[in-house]
Amino acid sequence: MYVWLVLAIFQPVYIIYYIVVILVNTEQFHQYEELTLLIVLIGLIALIFRFLLLFMTVKVMKNFDRGLREYGLRQITPNERTRLNADYL
């Protein structure tokens, strides 16, 4: 899990690098203004969502071993199975 969190750094670094490249070489990218604008916008939204994701991972990691696992692992009784089947219909 921690290795996975460390690997999460690369995407924001990549996006910031590309935005800096676009800002430095404005003449080259001026020809396709719409696409570069789109890339910068999507990059910024992706940055926001990456930080949201990190926040959510911390929140979820705090919830480990609090007893939610049992609900995923429990055996479904026949009574509950009929109830679920009725839910599908």
Partner 1 sequence: MAFGFVALLLTFYELYQFISKTIIYGFSNLEVIFYARFFGVCLLSPLTIILVVFVYRDLGWREFTLIGSDKEMLRLHRDFTRFICTLEIDFQLNISLVVCGVIGYFLFERQGDEPLFSLNEAISYIVYAVLSGIWSWVGYFLVINFFLISYFFFFKKKPF
Residues that bind partner 1 (CB under 8 A): 1, 4, 7-8, 11, 14-15, 29, 31-32, 34-39, 41-43, 45-46, 49-50, 52-53, 56-57, 59-60, 63-64, 66-75, 80, 83-84, 87
Q: What share of the chain is helix, strand, coil (3-state, %, to 5)?
A: 85, 0, 15
Counting DSSP H helices and E strands in the chain, the numbers are 6, 0
CB of 53 to partner 1, least distance (A): 5
Q: Which is nearer to partner 1, 1 or 78 (CB)?
A: 1
